[in-house]
Chain A
Amino acid sequence: MTPNGTVKGRLIALEGSGGRPMAVAAKMLERELRLRGAEFGTSAWDASDIFFQIARGERGLPAPSPRTLVLLYASDLAFRLRWQIRPALEDGMSVIAAPYLETVIGFGRAAGLSQAWLRQVFEFAPVPDECYRVPESTVPVDRRATPSNSFLEFCLAQLRNGPGFWDTEGIRGGCLSRLTHMEARGKCRVVTRRLANSAAGE
C-alpha cells in the first residue's frame, strides 16, 4: 500500500448520520481550532464526487448492495486521504474528517456485513487521534440529513429503491446505536461545545 509519510498533525473523526448536525459539529470544532490559532482542514464525504455521479446517472439501474456501497465509500476515502487528509496531517495541520470510518462500519454491520471484512477493507486508513459521535436527536426532522449530504442516508435511499426488501430504519438505528455503544465503551465521545473546546486544545 502507499506509504503514509510522516504524520505530524491530528486527525479528528466526526461520526454520525451526516447532514446539518454533522456540519454544525464540524463548524463548532473549526471555530475552537481557529480561536486557538491552529491550522486545520476539513474532509467531507464524497470529495471525489463518486456518489454524486452515481445519483445523477443511476436511472433504471438496480441499486448497489451494501457491500458495493462500502467499497465505493472506501474508494472515496482513499481519494480524501490522498488529496486532503494526509497532505494536511503531514503539514502539521489538524484535520476534521466528517465522516471517517465508524459510520461506514456501522452501516455495513447493520446491513449484515462482517466486522472483520469491514476492518480489512479500511486497513489503509490511519486510526484517528480523536473520534466524536454527532448526536442528532435534538435536530428537527426537517433539518436532518438527506441522501445528498449524508453517506448513510444515501445508502438507505439506494436500498429503498431495491431490488430486495431492506429494513432501512433498522439499519439506520443499528448504525447510530453502534456509535452510542462505542461512546459507552469509551471509544468515542459525544461532541458538545465543551468537548469541541477541549478537542481543539489537545
Chain B
Amino acid sequence: MSLFPALARRRQTNRRMRDLVQSREDKRGLLIAFEGPDGSGKTTQRKLFKNWLKSEGHDVVTTKWNSSALVKPLVKARKAAHALSPEEFSLLHAADFRYRLETDVLPALWNGQTVVADRYLFTALARDAARGLDLHWLMELYRPLFWPDIVFYFSVSPETSGKRIAAERSPNYYEAGQDVTEIEDPLNSYMTFIGRVIQEYEALAKVFQFVTVDAEQSIFDQHRQIRALYSDGTRRPWQDWNQEVLVEWLNDHPEVAAQ
C-alpha cells in the first residue's frame, strides 16, 4: 500500500490531465511578460500594449509583481520594518508568485484570456541573485516553471535607470538594495545595486532568449517595436514544463478539469 495515497491517485490521473491540456491548446490565452529594471519604462509600455490589445478585440488581464491579496500585506509590513533577509524576501515573493499563478494567471489562460505580466519570475532571479543568493536555488523556488509565450526585456543602462528614478522619487530601502549594499544614501545605493541587477538581467536575457527592447528609445518607438514583434510572432504549443504546471493545477482543481 502506498504511503501517500494522494500521490498515487495523482499519478493515475496525470495522463488524463495531459490530454486535457493538449485539447485546450487552440483555445488557450497567451502569457506576455514585461521585464526590466526599475526606470526602464516597462510599466508605461505594458499599459500601452494592453490598451492596444484590447482595441484589437483581445480579452486582457494584468498581473503585477508582489500583488496577491494573500502575500502582499505580509511583504508590505515587513518591508516597512526593514525586517526581511534576502532569503525571506525571496521565499515570500516565490509564494506570492505561485499564488497568483494558480489563482489568476492559469485560470485566465485556461479561459482564453491574454495575460500581461508586469514583471515575472525573472525579476526575482535578477534582484535576488544581485542580493547574493544562489541562482540555482532561486530557480528551484519557482519550479515547476511556467514559461511565458513572450518575454519583453526593457534594456537600459544603470545611469538611465538612476536618472529616471531620481527624477520621480527617492528609491525605497529595498528598491535601493540598502539591505545588501549598506550604503546610507538611497540614490547612491540604488546606483550600485541596479548595476548588479542589470548585469543579472543581461545574463538571463541571453540564456532565456528574451526579446530585448532598447528602452533608451522614445516611448512611441518602443511601443511600435513591441506591436511589430508581437504581431510577427508565431503561436507555439505549450511547452513540456508548462504542461507539468497545468497538470498539477488541474489535479488541484478538479472542478476546472470537469468543465
Secondary structure class of chain B's binding surface, majority of residues: helix
For residue B77, which residues in chain A have a CB less than 8 angstroms away from its CB? 53
Interface centre among A65, A68, A112, A177 (most CB of B within 10 A): A68
Query: Please, how many angstroms separate the alpha-carbon atoms of A74 and B142 in the complex?
Result: 13
How many chain A residues touch the partner (CB < 8 A)? Answer: 42
Chain B residues packing against A (C-beta within 8 Å)? 3-7, 10, 69-71, 73-74, 77, 85-88, 91-92, 94-95, 98-99, 102-103, 132-134, 137, 140-141, 143, 248, 251-255
Given the known interface contacts A110-B4, A110-B6, A110-B7, the answer about A75 and B98 at a Cβ–Cβ threshold of 8 Å is no
Q: Are A164 and B98 in contact (CB under 8 A)?
A: no
Known: A1-B133, A67-B248. 10 other contacts (CB 8 A): A64-B70, A72-B71, A74-B91, A78-B88, A79-B85, A109-B4, A112-B6, A163-B255, A165-B254, A171-B6
For residue A65, which residues in chain B have a CB less than 8 angstroms away from its CB? 98-99, 102, 252
Rounded to whole Å, the gap between the CB of A36 and the closest CB of chain B is 33
Which residue from chain B places its CB closest to the CB of A64 in the assembled complex?
B99
Which single member of A58, A109, A171 contacts B70 (CB below 8 Å)? Answer: A58
Rounded to whole Å, the gap between the CB of B49 and the closest CB of chain A is 28
Given the known interface contacts A1-B137, A71-B95, A75-B88, the answer about A164 and B6 at a Cβ–Cβ threshold of 8 Å is no
Which single member of B73, B88, B98, B143 contacts A68 (CB below 8 Å)? Answer: B98
For residue A111, which residues in chain B have a CB less than 8 angstroms away from its CB? 6
Which residue from chain B places its CB closest to the CB of A58 in the assembled complex?
B70
Query: Please, how many angstroms separate the alpha-carbon atoms of A120 and B132 in the complex?
Result: 17
Rounded to whole Å, the gap between the CB of A136 and the closest CB of chain B is 18
Which single member of B3, B85, B248, B255 contacts A177 (CB below 8 Å)? Answer: B3
Given the known interface contacts A54-B70, A181-B3, the answer about A78 and B95 at a Cβ–Cβ threshold of 8 Å is no
Which single member of B69, B134, B251 contacts A112 (CB below 8 Å)? Answer: B251
The 23 sampled A-B contact pairs (Cβ below 8 Å) are A1-B132, A2-B86, A50-B74, A53-B77, A54-B70, A68-B95, A68-B99, A68-B102, A72-B95, A75-B87, A75-B92, A78-B88, A79-B85, A110-B3, A110-B4, A112-B7, A121-B141, A124-B87, A163-B252, A165-B254, A166-B6, A178-B3, A181-B3
Q: Are B70 and A71 in contact (CB under 8 A)?
A: no
Which single member of B7, B85, B95 contacts A109 (CB below 8 Å)? Answer: B7
Rounded to whole Å, the gap between the CB of B182 and the closest CB of chain A is 14
Q: Are B140 and A121 in contact (CB under 8 A)?
A: yes
Q: Are B3 and A174 in contact (CB under 8 A)?
A: yes
Is A41 interfacial (CB-CB < 8 Å)?
Answer: no
For residue B74, which residues in chain A have a CB less than 8 angstroms away from its CB? 50, 53-54
Query: Please, how many angstroms separate the alpha-carbon atoms of A78 and B137 in the complex?
Result: 14
Q: Are B95 and A112 in contact (CB under 8 A)?
A: no
Q: Are A71 and B73 in contact (CB under 8 A)?
A: no
For residue A123, which residues in chain B have a CB less than 8 angstroms away from its CB? 137, 140
Is A82 interfacial (CB-CB < 8 Å)?
Answer: yes
Query: Please, how many angstroms separate the alpha-carbon atoms of A66 and B140 in the complex?
Result: 16
Q: Are A124 and B137 in contact (CB under 8 A)?
A: yes
Rounded to whole Å, the gap between the CB of A202 and the closest CB of chain B is 30
For residue B85, which residues in chain A have a CB less than 8 angstroms away from its CB? 2, 78-79, 82
Which single member of A66, A117, A171, A181 contacts B143 (CB below 8 Å)? Answer: A117
Which residue from chain A places its CB closest to the CB of B1 in the assembled complex?
A177
For residue A2, which residues in chain B have a CB less than 8 angstroms away from its CB? 85-87
Which residue from chain A places its CB closest to the CB of B11 in the assembled complex?
A112
Which single member of B6, B98, B133, B251 contacts A167 (CB below 8 Å)? Answer: B6
For residue A178, which residues in chain B have a CB less than 8 angstroms away from its CB? 3-4
Q: Are A164 and B87 in contact (CB under 8 A)?
A: no
For residue B143, which residues in chain A have a CB less than 8 angstroms away from its CB? 117, 120
Query: Please, how many angstroms separate the alpha-carbon atoms of A123 and B92 in the complex?
Result: 16
For residue A126, which residues in chain B have a CB less than 8 angstroms away from its CB? none
In the A-B complex, list the 3 residue pairs whose CB atoms are closest, starting with the nearest.
Answer: A75-B91, A71-B95, A120-B140
